Amino acid sequence: MSEFVLELSALTRRFGAFTAVDALSLSVRTGEVFGLLGANGAGKTTTIKMLTTLLPPSAGEALVAGYSITRQAVEVRRSIGYVPQAVSVDGSLTGYETPAHLCPTV
């Protein structure tokens, strides 16, 4: 397994003239617990949408589990689980069971 589970390189998302995520670069080590904190409208959800391949970036790149979000979306989705809000959590499922439940396109 590679050293980093997440590698973001100048990841950027614009909505028209507005830049919601501005050249975000960071790395998260495999096994590390990482929290992305920010004020309302800081761009957290937009960042997660790009990392889960639900929204294409305007510029930049990111690797999730070593897979490119722009070129290997299927592999990225197979590698992740995503629970967008607490109301979406099904308490009867384990974390490992949740991905297939919430990713019908995979």
Ligand X SMILES: Nc1ncnc2c1ncn2[C@@H]1O[C@H](COP(=O)(O)OP(=O)(O)OP(=O)(O)O)[C@@H](O)[C@H]1O
Binding site residues, Mg ion, CB under 5 A: 44-45
Footprint on this chain of ligand X (rule: CB under 6 A)? 15, 18, 20, 38, 40-46
Compute the least distance from the CB of residue 40 to Mg ion, in Å.
8
3-class SS at 76? helix
10 Å CB burial of residue 44 (0-12, 13-18, 19+) is: middle
Nearer to Mg ion, 18 or 96 (CB): 18
Q: What would the two tokens of residue 82 be?
A: 């995503």
With CB cut-offs between 5 and 8 Å by kind, which of ligand X, Mg ion, none does residue 38 bind? ligand X
Q: To the nearest whole angstrom, how small is the minimum distance from the Cβ of residue 99 to ligand X? A: 21
Per partner kind, with CB cut-offs from 5 to 8 A, the member of ligand X, Mg ion, none near residue 41 is: ligand X
Please state, in angstroms and as integers, the Cα–Cα distance from residue 2 to each residue in 6, 28, 44, 93, following that order: 10, 11, 25, 28
Least distance between ligand X and beta carbon 77 (Å): 20
